[in-house]
Amino acid sequence: MKTLAPADVPVKAGGTHCWLLDRGRQVPLKVGLNSIGRLPDNDIVIDDATVSRRHCAVVVHSDLTVELHDVASKNGTTINGRKIQGPTRLHDGDEIGLSEHRLQFLMFAGQPTVPPVPRSHHSSVDDRTLAG
């Protein structure tokens, strides 16, 4: 298993963003290791007595695949209700269970969109011209 050094920026390569949703709070994930637990030195701190001090980690690889690792938590870690036994890939919309606490993994992959230009009432091109 390779060790990844965390970067200091959220994942934004190629128009891709990933984050965790924690009770309405969006937490951006960085490339590398994102530790999760109760201790204040975790990257993502969860204030819940059922969550271990160092519960799990989300690893975002440079190719933007994302894995969840349980780090010997007392109450286990699940993805969509299934207990994980080793590194497990995360997909957009997955629910992560840290004992009784729930997080949602979200990933957006796409190109930036340009807002539509409002149609002018004084345009020389109208629907008949386009249909023509």
pLDDT tens track for 6-62: 443 344 444 458 999 999 899 999 999 999 999 999 999 999 999 999 999 999 998
DSSP letter at 4? -
Strands 56-60, 88-89: parallel, antiparallel or unpaired by DSSP?
unpaired
Of 109 and 9, the structure prediction assigns the larger pLDDT to 109
Q: Measure CA 10 to chain center.
A: 10
**What's the rounded mean pLDDT across residues 61-66?**
89
Query: Residue 109: which pLDDT band, with cuts at 50, 70 and 90?
Result: low
Domains of the chain are: 13-111 (2.60.200.20)
